[in-house]
């Protein structure tokens, strides 16, 4: 299990070593000490490894992640898991703006709060925030699930497409074309599946959440063709 101290080893060397890993690597568990808010830690990974970062990180940690599991034991700056493709990113603290932005797959779990624009333009990622989220979250969200245990700020889901938003608390206001939708049994099951994937299935009852989504008035959408979009 490689142990990397960023107080000694340059960040560029850490990322380069992670990028060189073959798919069948035996070095599957990495520990990173003293990140001290550095930007772009563990970005662009494409191997089935686990990277545990012991401390706060700056911008774009775990950006473009694919296959890897990245755990941040602390807070994260702007753009955590930005453009994530697959794998798992877990932040034990709070995150700044644009968490999971443009994410296409995988799971982002935030144990604290998320700032503004959480999940903007998400395209298939699942995001679970155990705290609250800021304004303009899920702006132009296209696909995937955003689950919020706490409250949501202003303009939730502005210009949303077909992403599903589940909020346990209150939404300060809804953005353009975002409306509250019925929470049927199939939606509770979909939420339960996301919670199970995040390891939180026993923490809350899916029936406590409200569901929000697109009113489908801002774009040419035909529900019979949903599978083609």
pLDDT in tens, 158-182: 999 999 999 999 999 999 999 999 9
Q: Which of 84, 110, 145 corresponds to the end of one domain?
A: 84
Please indicate, yes or no, if residue 131 is contained in any of the structural domains: yes
As a whole number of angstroms, the distance between CA 147 and CA 111 comes to 12
Please indicate, yes or no, if residue 36 is contained in any of the structural domains: yes
Residues 122 and 216 in one domain: yes
Per-residue confidence at 222, pLDDT binned at 50, 70, 90?
low
When the pLDDT of each residue in the chain is averaged and rounded to a whole number, the result is 96
Using the predicted structure, report yes or no on whether residue 23 has a pLDDT greater than 80: yes
The contacts of residue 36 (CB under 8 Å, 6+ apart) are 6, 7, 55, 56
Q: pLDDT tens-digit profile of 73-94?
A: 999 999 999 999 999 999 999 9
* 83 closest CA partner among 103, 67, 65, 66: 103
Residues 224 and 145 in one domain: yes
Q: pLDDT tens-digit profile of 98-133?
A: 999 999 999 999 999 999 999 999 999 999 999 999
Interval 57-65 mean pLDDT: 98
Please tell me the predicted confidence (pLDDT) of residue 217: 86
Residues 213 and 138 in one domain: yes
Please tell me the predicted confidence (pLDDT) of residue 225: 67
Residues 77 and 103 in one domain: no
Please indicate, yes or no, if residue 205 is contained in any of the structural domains: yes
Residues 170 and 194 in one domain: yes
The count of domains in the chain is: 2
Residue 53 near residue 39 (C-beta atoms within 8 A): no
The contacts of residue 141 (CB under 8 Å, 6+ apart) are 119, 120, 121, 122, 157, 160, 161, 163, 165
Identify which has the larger pLDDT, 219 or 201.
201
**β-pair type (210-214, 164-167):** antiparallel
Please indicate, yes or no, if residue 229 is contained in any of the structural domains: yes
Residues 61 and 146 in one domain: no
Please tell me the predicted confidence (pLDDT) of residue 229: 54
* 134 closest CA partner among 159, 112, 149, 156: 156
Residues 51 and 116 in one domain: no
Residues 76 and 110 in one domain: no
Residues 144 and 215 in one domain: yes
Q: What is the DSSP string of 119-161?
A: TTT-EEEEEEESS-B-TTTTTT--EEEEEESS-B-TTBTTT--
Q: Which of 60, 84, 108 corresponds to the end of one domain?
A: 84
As a whole number of angstroms, the distance between CA 204 and CA 99 comes to 22
Percent of the chain with pLDDT over 70: 96
Identify which has the larger pLDDT, 224 or 99.
99
Please indicate, yes or no, if residue 45 is contained in any of the structural domains: yes
Residues 52 and 139 in one domain: no
Q: Which of 84, 111, 145 corresponds to the end of one domain?
A: 84
Per-residue confidence at 215, pLDDT binned at 50, 70, 90?
very high
The contacts of residue 189 (CB under 8 Å, 6+ apart) are 206
Range of the domain at 60: 1-84
> Token digits for 125?
């990622």
Please indicate, yes or no, if residue 146 is contained in any of the structural domains: yes
Compute and round to an integer the Cα radius of gyration of the chain: 18
Residues 149 and 175 in one domain: yes
Please indicate, yes or no, if residue 164 is contained in any of the structural domains: yes
Residues 66 and 161 in one domain: no
């Amino acid at each position: 299990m490689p142990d990397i101290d960023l107080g000694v080893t340059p960040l560029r060397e850490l990322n380069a070593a992670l990028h060189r890993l073959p798919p069948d690597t035996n070095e599957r568990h990495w520990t990173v000490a003293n990140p001290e808010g550095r930007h772009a830690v563990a970005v662009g990974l494409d191997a089935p490894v686990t990277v545990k970062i012991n401390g706060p990180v700056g911008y774009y940690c775990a950006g473009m992640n694919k296959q890897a599991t990245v755990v941040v034991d602390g807070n994260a700056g702007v753009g955590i898991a930005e453009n994530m493709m697959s794998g798992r990113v877990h932040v034990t603290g709070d995150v700044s703006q644009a968490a999971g932005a443009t994410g296409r797959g995988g799971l982002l779990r935030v144990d604290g709060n998320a700032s503004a624009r959480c999940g903007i333009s998400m395209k298939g990622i699942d995001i679970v925030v155990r705290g609250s989220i800021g304004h303009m979250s899920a702006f132009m969200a296209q696909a995937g699930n955003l689950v919020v245990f706490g409250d949501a700020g202003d303009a939730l889901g502005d210009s949303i497409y077909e992403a599903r938003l589940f909020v346990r608390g209150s939404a300060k206001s809804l953005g353009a074309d975002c409306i509250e939708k019925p929470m049927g049994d199939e939606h509770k099951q979909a939420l339960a599946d996301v919670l199970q994937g995040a390891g939180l299935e026993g923490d809350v009852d899916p029936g406590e959440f409200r569901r929000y989504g697109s009113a489908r008035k801002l774009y040419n959408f035909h529900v019979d063709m949903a599978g083609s979009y």
